[in-house]
Chain A
Amino acid sequence: MWRYVLKRVLLAIVTVFVVIAITFFAMHAIPGGPFDKEKASDPATIKALMERYDLNKPLGEQFVNYLGRMMHLDLGISMRNGREITKTISKSFAVSAKIGGYSIILSFVVGITLGVIAALRRNKLADRIIIFFTTLFQSVPGFVMATLLLLVFAQWLGWFRVYDPINPSFVLPVISLALYPIAYITRLTKSSMLDVLADDYIRTARAKGVAPVKVIAKHALRNAVLPIVTYLGPMVAYTLTGSMVVETVFTLPGLGLEFVQSIMNRDYTMIMGTTIFLAMLMVIMTLISDVIYKMVDPRITFE
């Protein structure tokens, strides 16, 4: 067990390091400094800027410095607005975490419920309807879905006050972020539930007269839900990238919007900082969900 955890932690550390290295060297491979397109082409100003952003040293030294500052949770300052990147991230991530958290909870609850219904009513009408909609939601790009929801429910029907400056409604962003994971979890639950229902111990439980509800809730569902835990890692990754789309469509001041804008503005330091932060989050969540899976399912051996 601990060997497995250690191995995974090591892989995670290597991955994070590779991400930082790729991000750093890729961003520095862009020809010309980030200030080339600025109007203030006064050599003295440029020199001052270069010194301020540590750009006049050799690349290797810059990388080591960057790593060193990262250890102190310092990602530098934005090249566009001069604000500290860690502060921007922590402020905007609060919004993203709220939407993302709600959407993850919503996807698990709805996805598992629908999956169980589809498995129990296999090949009946309910199953067909559920599978139809999950297939549909999996074939529409996220931003199209979000835009359509915005158009129909906020602008045409006016049910949600999306653009309210004081208290904007989070319902539509959360739903549009959750639709794809719901579809995925539904299908995962259905197939895993069908596998479990065919097992011998379910037949035994039924044969000895356990109430049908109890068979499903206690014997089947408990085992069927286990593989879904592994989806937590990829789902966090999906939610974080999805938040870029959703926050841009609904103009919410989250980390996703911040990242998209930094790409549009070519804010090099901000792109680097956000990429590294998001990547670390994704790697850590994948690590946690894999380790939890191994811990809760005693049937899995540790190599």
Chain B
Amino acid sequence: MAREKDKLPFIKNPLSLQVDLSKFTLASEEDKQSFDVMRAPSTFWRDGFINFKKNKMAVTSVIVLVLIILAIIILPKFLPYKYSETIRVNGQRDRTVTNLHPFTWSEKEQEFIDEGGKLFPHVMGTDQLGRDYFIRVMIGTRISLLVGFFASIIVLVIGLIYGSISGFLGGKVDLIMMRIVDIIYSLPDTLMIILLSFVLKETIGKQIQGTILAKLGTGMISMFLVFGLLYWVSMARLIRGQILSIKENEYVLAANSMGASTGRIIRKHILPNCISVIIISTALQIPSAIFTESFLSFLGLGVAVPMPSLGSLAADARQGLQTYPYKLLFPALIISLIVLSLNLIGDGLRDAFDPKLRK
């Protein structure tokens, strides 16, 4: 019996720390290679960028958007027409230049060309006041994009400040601040925007006269004001929520217990973790601002004449729609392209930068 027991392999007490050397072999070259660093350490931004590049739709949208932006910056400088001025042939007024179809000439222009003069073609025709439609569409695109961009910046700044104060302070301040947000959030926003735009358009006209703001026009300023008053609430909610959930994480606790300052925690831990959400929702805010602007233009509350926006051009084009349908189609097409590509870029950014969705 005793011999049988000796023949059995050596059974170690499971709690023993003694190492059975026979179980170990030297590592081969292949094994060593598997520990080599195969990929350079990547940063958050690089990772996101690489992911973003894989999304074909989003990359195409970026290209489309960049082309549009380049076009509206460069083209108006080279066009011989102005968005606010009636076309003049050889310095003379031309009555027949109104409502031309694309790539056609008025009688006087035709005469001028026959005499050997050179003119730039009306790529999109002219409008009912005899202004080149192509330049109006270009400037309109510029205005619409600017409105969308600045409106979302306003929303971002106010939302960021309000949301982070509320999230950091917590307690009663947070409670009161969030009740205010609740009420503004439950207001019917489109209705309030119409009402406030109407009132602001009627009121601020005199107050801004003579200042730089007057150049922007009452319509646009009232739109920015309305966005600043109403649309920041969802951004504030989002940022507060982010900060609250990040604050609870173990790494913040660890940093805190290691003696990191509040500033360092904000810079190194909280901001990098919510920046992607902030960027994505700011990007998605732009198309909604462009939509709101076009809706207000439809109601006659958008940008002030003679300044065009894509929305006001499309709204004006409803008159004489049967005869000149392209006047609606050109601005409508560009609005749709811009909104579509911004939405796709926003979705692409979310997929690329949201760490929770990453595989």
Contacts and interface: CB of A to CB of B under 8 A. Distances in A.
B191 A279 contact: yes
A302 to B, nearest CB: 17
A96 to B, nearest CB: 14
Indicate the member of B195, B203, B299, B315 with the most A CB atoms within 10 Å.
Answer: B195
A136 B57 CA distance: 14
Contact of A241 (B187, B191, B311): B191
A147 B318 contact: yes
A143 B183 contact: no
A94 interface: no
B203 A282 contact: no
B198 interface: yes
Interface string A11-38: 1101100110011001101110000000
Contact of A26 (B195, B301, B318, B335): B195
Indicate the member of A12, A263, A271, A278 with the most B CB atoms within 10 Å.
Answer: A263
Interface string B167-208: 000000000000000110011101110111011001100100
A144 B188 contact: no
A278 B188 contact: yes
A139 interface: yes
Contact of B295 (A22, A141, A263, A275): A141
A112 interface: no
A141 B262 CA distance: 45
Contact of B298 (A31, A148, A245): A245
B202 A30 contact: yes
Indicate the member of B186, B311, B332 with the most A CB atoms within 10 Å.
Answer: B186
B298 A143 contact: yes
Interface in B320-359: 321-322, 325, 328, 332, 335-336, 339-340, 343-344
A283 B332 CA distance: 32
A271 to B, nearest CB: 7
B300 A263 contact: yes
A140 interface: yes
A260 interface: yes
A123 interface: no
B314 interface: yes
B283 to A, nearest CB: 14
A259 B137 CA distance: 29
A142 B300 CA distance: 15
Chain A, interface residues (CB within 8 Å), range: 35 or more
Contacts of A271: 195, 198
A135 B340 contact: yes
B199 A26 contact: yes
Contacts of A30: 199, 202-203
Nearest to A272: B195
A144 B314 contact: yes
B188 A279 contact: yes
Contacts of B318: 143, 147, 249
Interface in B288-327: 291, 294-295, 298-301, 311, 314-315, 318, 321-322, 325
Contact of B339 (A139, A237, A279): A139
A85 interface: no
Given A22-B195, A143-B295, A151-B325, A15 B187 contact: yes
B287 interface: yes
Interface string A231-254: 000000100010011001100000
B335 A140 contact: yes
B206 A143 contact: no
A136 B322 CA distance: 24
Given A139-B336, A147-B321, A19 B192 contact: yes
A138 B187 contact: no
Nearest to B337: A139
A286 B186 contact: yes
B104 to A, nearest CB: 22
A139 B340 CA distance: 5
A148 B198 CA distance: 27
Contacts of A26: 195-196, 199
B220 to A, nearest CB: 18
Given A11-B182, A151-B321, A241 B291 contact: no
Contacts of A204: none
Contact of A22 (B192, B298, B325): B192
Contacts of A142: 295
Contacts of A143: 294-295, 298, 314-315, 318
Contacts of B339: 138-140
Contacts of A135: 340, 343-344
Interface of A: 11-12, 14-15, 18-19, 22-23, 26-27, 29-31, 135-136, 138-144, 147-148, 151, 155, 237, 241, 244-245, 248-249, 260, 263-264, 266, 271, 275, 278-279, 282-283, 286
29 contacts: A18-B183, A18-B187, A19-B187, A22-B195, A26-B199, A30-B203, A31-B203, A135-B340, A135-B344, A139-B336, A140-B335, A140-B339, A141-B294, A141-B295, A141-B332, A141-B335, A142-B295, A144-B332, A144-B336, A147-B328, A151-B321, A241-B191, A244-B299, A248-B298, A263-B198, A263-B301, A275-B195, A279-B187, A286-B186
Given A30-B202, A144-B335, 11 more contacts: A18-B183, A19-B191, A22-B192, A139-B287, A139-B339, A139-B343, A143-B294, A143-B295, A148-B332, A245-B295, A263-B301
